[in-house]
Structures are given as C-alpha cells and as structure tokens.
C-alpha cells in the first residue's frame, strides 16, 4: 500500500480507509462498495468541474459526452493498470481462485473506492488534486470536437459497415440484491461466432465492457 500511496501522491492519515477501499465484497460485509458509491460521485464532480473550466465555449451535450468518456469503466481500468491495482486487491479465496485480481470490473470499482477513501481522509480540494493528477494525460489529450462514441456505438457501426449481424446483448444473471447487485451480461456476435461475458454494477456498464472486448477482438481478426 505504500507504493500505491506514492503513485497517487497522497499519504493516508487513516490507513484503514485505504485498506477498506482495496477490499472486495468477496471478503464479507466489510468491503469497499460504500466507498465506491462515494468515489463515483466525487469523480463525476471533479471531472465535471474541470471540463467546465477547460472548455468554456463547449455546450452541455458535448461536456456530458466528454465526462462519460473520462469516467467510464474502460478509462478506470487504464488508471488501475498504471497503479498496479491487481497487486494490492484484497479478495476472498473464491475470487482469488477464479482470477478476480484480473477482472476489469473489480479494478474499475476499486479506483472509485480509492477516490472515496481519499475524500473521507481529507477534503474535496485534496481529492480533486489527486484525481486531476492521475487524469492529466487524458485531460490534455481530449479534443472536444472528437465524437467520443461509446464502445456499443462503435461496435454497432463497425458491424454495420461490413454488413454483419448486429450484436445481441443478454442479461445472464444478477448476483446480490438492491444496491449490492452485480449484473453479468453476455454479448454474442453471430457472424463471427464470438461470445463474451462481463460483470458490472450496472447493466449498461457491463454491456459497454462486452462491446469494448469484442471491438478489440475484431481488430485482431
């Protein structure tokens, strides 16, 4: 955890908050889901304010698309990779055996939980600095004139251009209840005979993860 604190340029006063942020629900009731809920809101506020300040002549619609691009699961997974989160995740034995430390949904959720933990351990200005430091390369590279289409739209357009059958998304199962629910979504490409499954805290995020994986697979065919 010391290396992780160095990478986010923040030293916790209460290290138990960071430990909790890294603890997956497979460890029991004392897990990072509440911190993830908080971190998701904090991240959205920080990114919204930064985009508002940076792009003063951009309308609300484009700002919303820019924000969605920056806070989506795939972007959080990229951040998780730079932080080597898979090395410090605290998982239950079953999740460890199934390779949960490699699961992108777990990594993305943990990034949000870390932001929530930093916010509780400090204040909004501090977590604002932590988030913007991590997001700096992506913020600098963003062009508000880019279409920034989400993976589902990109996949659909990719298949339409080639005259292929459109992807079929299906809710495979729901694990847990209410705010603790995790959705497993499958997506099938009939013409290519490819099927993938992804899990996430929302059906939309799971579908987007499936679409991104399929896009990557199609580019290698």
What DSSP element (H or E) covers 127?
helix 124-141
Point out which residues pair with 173 in neighbouring strands. 184
**DSSP assignments along 26-66, one per residue:** GG-SSSSHHHHHHHHHHHHHHHHHHHHHH-TT--HHHHHHH
Q: Give the rounded distance of the alpha carbon of 220 from its chain centre.
A: 24
State how far the Cα of 141 lies from the Cα of 139, in Å rounded to an integer: 5
Q: Which residues are catalytic?
A: 40, 112
User: Tokens at residue 27, please?
Assistant: 């460890």
């Amino acid at each position: 955890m010391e290396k992780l604190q160095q990478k986010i340029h923040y030293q916790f006063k209460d290290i138990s908050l960071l430990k909790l942020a890294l603890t997956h629900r497979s460890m029991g009731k004392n897990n990072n889901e509440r911190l993830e809920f908080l971190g998701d809101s904090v991240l959205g506020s920080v990114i919204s304010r930064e985009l508002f300040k940076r792009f003063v002549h951009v309308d609300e619609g484009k700002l919303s698309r820019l924000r969605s691009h920056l806070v989506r699961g795939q972007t959080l997974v990229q951040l998780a990779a730079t932080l080597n989160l898979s090395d410090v995740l605290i998982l239950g034995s079953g999740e460890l055996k199934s390779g949960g430390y490699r699961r992108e949904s777990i990594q993305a959720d943990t990034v949000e939980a870390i932001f929530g933990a930093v916010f509780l351990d400090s204040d909004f200005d501090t977590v604002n600095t932590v988030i913007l430091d991590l997001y700096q390369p992506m913020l600098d590279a963003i062009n508000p004139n880019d279409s920034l289409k989400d993976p589902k739209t990109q996949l659909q357009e990719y298949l339409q251009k080639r005259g292929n059958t459109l992807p079929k998304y299906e809710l495979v199962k729901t694990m847990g209840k209410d705010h603790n629910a995790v959705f497993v979504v499958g997506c099938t490409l009939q013409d290519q005979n490819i099927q993938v499954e992804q899990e996430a805290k929302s059906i939309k995020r799971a579908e987007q993860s499936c679409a991104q994986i399929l896009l990557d697979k199609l580019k290698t065919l």
